[in-house]
Amino acid sequence: MEKRYTYPKHEKLKSRIIIGSLFEEGKSVSKYPLRLVYAPLPDGEAGPLQMGVSVSKKYFKRAHDRNHFKRLLRESYRLNKHLLLDNLQQPYAVMFFYQTKDRMDFDEVQEKTVLLFEKLIESLKAESQKS
């Protein structure tokens, strides 16, 4: 089957309720300077994965800088989401954060994203073995 490198609307995390529950009950993995907060999606939500991105106003005061790094995060997710989709057993909501004032280029963000996704997959496998 051919991999589709897209980021369709149904994969975008927009629900304030789900985002709120991510911060209350979600678990987190990080690979400096990126961090993922994840939680299982409630039944009936669309798609196997919903992803949101965030860049801190604390580190980047100007909106165009924050938008630039959000674009990098979304593009990196789009190109590497197959790593997650191939290994997820149930639907998840994920929030993707850029947490440093260091300005990384796309190749560095891409490399860290792959490492972060692998770390998330390992933690999900470890959780499923506990249950």
Q: Is the residue at 43 inside a domain?
A: yes
pLDDT of the chain, 131 residues: tens digit per residue: 567 788 888 889 999 999 999 999 999 999 999 999 999 987 766 678 999 999 999 999 999 999 999 999 999 999 999 999 888 888 999 999 999 999 999 999 999 999 999 999 999 888 888 76
Domain count, the chain: 1
Q: Is the residue at 48 inside a domain?
A: yes
The CATH code of the domain that includes 25 is 3.30.230.10
Q: Is the residue at 106 inside a domain?
A: yes
Q: Is the residue at 37 inside a domain?
A: yes
Q: Give the structural domain span for 58.
A: 10-124
Q: Is the residue at 5 inside a domain?
A: no
Collapsing DSSP states into helix, strand and coil, what is residue 12? strand
pTM reported for the whole predicted model? 0.89
Q: How many CB atoms lie within 10 A of CB 88?
A: 17
> What does the alpha-carbon distance between residue 64 and residue 70 come to, in Å, rounded to a whole number?
10
